[in-house]
């Protein structure tokens, strides 16, 4: 549902917030249900558009989907309808959701054929799919791309294990190749594999289903093919991008916020990256407590030079949180260089922040220098449009800290990634309404 958020900012917030299940994990885990004809039960699934759309696609595909409760579903893929996959409907449905690309690996592994329209999704620069298809071809699949129909076809009489060196540590590419390899004949080794917690979760789930994957958490995965996988249950991790967003929100609005059940050990460098901006955050059990702070000061490097925060494949800093870091730095004391290495054109939303009074120099499509205002002159409310999921959340945080009224349009970009975000912010005392 499209619409806008109207926000009156400058209010201190207070209370507890629970992060939703991880969107990026959900897209992988849901595709994996195709690998078995037995029941797979998944809990902590976020109720967001991208995930719901994938669940609908699975249903249309013939998977029996049972909703047990909020975020709790059982899937059984014992009767698959291949006519749907070749249909016009699927061309439309699949193209609207980038995550649907990860249906290819399981389809190919279990049925020996797979089909996919060119995917859509976020406009954040070129995201190539070569890694996925190169992996499938190395395992023995034949690949065909129909340029008129924008349609990919993969076929394989049998998949055979192989040593695969990935050109890039693509998370979805690694997930796809792992899902194809678990049912291949013999041993597959994937080097330069992505090792994000989401992918570790997928591998652990597949192992519970009977797969034999070792090296989980490293960049070299070894997979001994098996002939059959069985059902399992799986609980998803909380969304680390949300957790980082709420840390940033607390700092920007000088609020006292407790973020519940964060699985702290899975957050990698995220907590310490926010500490580099001078933000106090305390681990208490499985929660993070961000106390109210009047000011926070950006650290410098040991030699006194300006701090740079850049993204990198896991266990580096996730690119999805760079927009949050950038917004939070606008009210810090000190100067920060944000360097977005992995995607181009993700920093263009800084124009909206400059309109709000932020001191930012956009150096090029990948780098921005932020001169913090130290909460001495707050951002001003304004009207803006959300360009993509992550920038949308960053602009939301800016608006909540700004003086006066802000309107954010195109919020379906935010709804695609965040469940009931306005409701959860209201519970903290935010003045936000959906119009």
Residue ranges at the known binding site: 23-24, 98, 320, 342
What is the distance, to the nearest Å, from the Cα of residue 215 to the centroid of all Cα atoms in its chain?
Answer: 23
- Residues at the binding site for UDP-N-acetyl-alpha-D-glucosamine are 98, 320, 342
DSSP for 356-394, written as a single string: TT-EEEEEETTEEEEE--TTSSPPBP-EEE--SHHHHHH
| Cα separation, 23 vs 169, whole angstroms | 19
Contact (Cβ atoms closer than 8 angstroms) between residue 3 and residue 420: no
User: 37 an active-site residue?
Assistant: no
What is the distance, to the nearest Å, from the Cα of residue 177 to the centroid of all Cα atoms in its chain?
Answer: 19
**For the chain, what is the radius of gyration of the CA atoms?**
22
**Catalytic one of 47, 60, 83, 122:** 122
Contact (Cβ atoms closer than 8 angstroms) between residue 157 and residue 188: no
- Residues at the binding site for phosphoenolpyruvate are 23-24
Residue 144 phi, psi (nearest 5)? -135, 135
- SS3 state of residue 152: strand
| Cα separation, 221 vs 227, whole angstroms | 19
| Cα separation, 302 vs 292, whole angstroms | 27
Distances (CA, A) of 332 to 215, 323, 336, 359: 40, 15, 9, 11
Percent of the chain as helix, strand, coil, to the nearest 5: 35, 25, 40
- Beta bridge partners, 224, equal 187, 212
Please list the active-site residues: 122
């Amino acid at each position: 549902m499209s619409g806008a958020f109207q926000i009156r900012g400058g209010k201190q917030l207070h209370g507890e917030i629970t992060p939703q299940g991880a969107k990026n994990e959900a897209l992988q885990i849901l595709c994996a249900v195709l690998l078995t004809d037995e029941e797979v039960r998944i809990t902590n699934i976020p109720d967001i558009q991208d995930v719901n759309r994938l669940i609908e696609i699975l249903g249309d595909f013939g998977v029996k989907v049972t909703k047990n409760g909020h975020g709790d579903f059982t899937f059984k893929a014992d009767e698959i309808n291949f006519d749907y996959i070749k249909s016009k409907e699927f061309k439309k449905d699949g193209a609207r959701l980038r995550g649907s690309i990860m249906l290819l690996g399981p389809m190919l592994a279990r049925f020996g054929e797979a089909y996919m329209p060119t995917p859509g999704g976020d406009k954040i620069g070129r995201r190539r799919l070569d890694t996925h298809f190169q992996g499938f071809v190395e395992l023995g699949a034949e690949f065909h791309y129909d340029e008129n129909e924008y349609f990919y076809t993969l076929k394989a009489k049998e998949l055979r294990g192989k040593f695969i060196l990935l050109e890039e540590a693509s998370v979805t590419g690694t997930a796809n190749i792992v899902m194809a390899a678990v049912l291949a004949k013999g041993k597959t080794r994937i080097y330069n594999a992505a090792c994000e917690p989401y992918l570790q979760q997928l591998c652990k789930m597949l192992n519970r289903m009977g797969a034999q994957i070792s090296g989980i958490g490293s960049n070299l995965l070894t997979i001994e093919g098996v002939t059959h996988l069985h059902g399992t249950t799986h609980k998803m991790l909380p969304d680390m991008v949300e957790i980082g967003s709420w840390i940033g929100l607390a700092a920007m609005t000088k609020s006292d916020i407790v973020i519940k059940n964060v699985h702290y050990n899975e957050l990698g460098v995220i907590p310490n990256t926010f500490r580099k901006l001078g933000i106090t955050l305390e681990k208490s059990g499985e929660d993070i407590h961000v106390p109210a702070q009047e000011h926070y000061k950006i650290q410098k490097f040991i030699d006194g030079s300006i701090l740079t925060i850049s993204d990198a494949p896991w266990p580096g800093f996730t690119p999805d949180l760079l927009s949050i870091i950038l917004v939070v730095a606008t009210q810090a004391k000190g100067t920060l260089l944000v360097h977005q290495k992995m995607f181009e054109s993700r920093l263009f939303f800084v124009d909206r922040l400059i309109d709000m009074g932020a001191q930012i120099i956009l150096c090029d499509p990948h780098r921005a220098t932020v001169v913090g205002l130290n909460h001495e002159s707050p951002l001003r409310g304004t009207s803006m449009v959300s360009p993509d999921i992550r920038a949308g959340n960053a602009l939301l945080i800016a608006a909540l800290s700004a003086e006066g009224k802000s309107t954010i349009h195109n919020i379906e970009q935010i709804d695609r990634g965040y469940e009931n975000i306005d409701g959860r912010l209201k519970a903290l005392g935010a003045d936000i309404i959906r119009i």
